[in-house]
Structure 1
């Protein structure tokens, strides 16, 4: 018999800024939730005020984890030390594994208008922290889509829906699920999940119900263990992000742009970067 997930914890994020002064809301990596293994950080940004995003995220290093950028509106240009360069437009996604080290920049491609999206940091297991950097980028047309009743829609970035719609991102260690779900009022969406996976839902617009509990716009919910989650739209424009992944279960040493397993490894990352031995 299936076990539906419920809401364990619900909270709003912490307003802050990052990069060269980009205004955002920190949901994971905040005072409310330090991490949710394997997820290290989640930022949500949404502004139509250019002075809140134009400074962007100039060149900076990463080691030991993955960054996932998903754009809901606007355009962001990415350039890194691997020679990759491209623009992430609306509903485009970039999934980058920093591995042993990468230096990259993410800068707004637009000068005005709404810029909205998420950046998620996903941990790497110890065996992969010093692996070669890797990069996946998918424009909106390469995301899988599944239509629901009454105009509902699921954009599948990673994972597979109950109906078999599969996202393009490949990342085996944590078996990720990353879905953007639009649920008009009265529409529901059921997603199978591994019992051992950690999972959360963030409501982008309107409100949704999970196991008779309501989550409103701007709120994040951590889900209890279970092998499925059922989301129900409670407002005409309800929209939510569903993310899940298998916990890695290893020690985490975080410092600035580096995430390793021990403090010694963390100090080595800083030393490598400062002495030009990073790449």
Structure 2
């Protein structure tokens, strides 16, 4: 079954304007995918303030930068540069403070941030940080098709990000070619450019840039377009309770209250 949803314009950080793909009022989380934002701006006033120091707990954060550059710093002592085409992967685990600030303002900004839930047994894991330059992201090329593999696999290529709950995260560009995969329990597609035809077990939808598709209860998914692009997320469902309070995602309200106390007591900065 294919369901279509619109994105939602939101402001986050210190006033960065974005489109919310997952986690909006229109399309709530698809566990293990809790939230996804697209930051796409050509006006520096919409993104120059960035994301000053803020907390996270209970999930993993994957930031994929297609245009522009950000710097990263966190309470565990990690620092890094996220350049064009690169990927940043953070396991917030038991709690972390971090900031992401733009490094230049002379061009367009385009990227995505995805929150992936941590299973209950890994909620309190130690925070970790990894940064992958553009050249370390595998690319599968066929006539009329390019697929960048950020996490999981496509054909014989494996992405560098390995979340605790395994996912597939692909950036797909179509120039007359066809893309095909076996479906998982949770399948989310975000059309990032052009017009793309999506088919799933005989059901067909022709969708335009800015459209979200949630696809369930199918075996195969194909996409083709003369000129189009999309981000695809796939995973097994994570059937655990989700309790969210801003940047904290746990399994119970009591755990959320504990996270708030830890943050207020400065324990995330240790």
TM-score (norm 1): 0.92
Q: CA deviation at 1:33?
A: 1.4
Q: C-alpha deviations, 1:163-205, integer Å up to 9, x for none?
A: 211111122x4221000011013x10112233xx301111111
Aligned match for 1:145, one of 139, 147, 152 = 139
CA distance in 1, matches of 2:109, 2:69: 7
Q: C-alpha deviations, 1:10-65, integer Å up to 9, x for none?
A: 12111110000000011211111121011111111100100000000000011101
DSSP-derived class of the 1:270 partner:
helix
Corresponding residue for residue 3 of structure 1 = none
Q: CA deviation at 1:248?
A: 1.5
Aligned match for 2:192, one of 204, 215, 233 = 204
Corresponding residue for residue 236 of structure 2 = 246
DSSP-derived class of the 2:29 partner:
coil
CA distance in 2, matches of 1:16, 1:170: 29
Q: Which ranges of 4 or more aligned residues in structure 1 deviate by more than 4 Å? A: none
Aligned match for 2:217, one of 197, 222, 225 = 225
Aligned match for 1:189, one of 155, 179, 184 = 179
CA distance in 2, matches of 1:223, 1:101: 32
- Unmatched segments (≥5 aa) in structure 2: none
Aligned match for 2:169, one of 178, 186, 198 = 178
Superposition pairs for residues 96-107 of structure 1, below 5 Å? Answer: 96-107=90-101
Please tell me whether the aligned partners of residues 13 and 30 of structure 1 are also in contact (alpha carbons under 8 angstroms). yes
1:155 maps onto 2:148 in alignment = yes
DSSP-derived class of the 1:269 partner:
helix
CA distance in 1, matches of 2:255, 2:16: 29
DSSP-derived class of the 2:147 partner:
strand
1:13 maps onto 2:7 in alignment = yes
- Hey, which of these two has a bigger chunk of strand by percent? 2
DSSP-derived class of the 1:206 partner:
strand
Q: C-alpha deviations, 1:214-248, integer Å up to 9, x for none?
A: 12111111112233321111x33x11101112221
CA distance in 1, matches of 2:261, 2:165: 29
TM-score (norm 2): 0.95
DSSP-derived class of the 1:40 partner:
strand
Aligned match for 1:215, one of 203, 207, 212 = 207
Please tell me whether the aligned partners of residues 48 and 112 of structure 1 are also in contact (alpha carbons under 8 angstroms). no
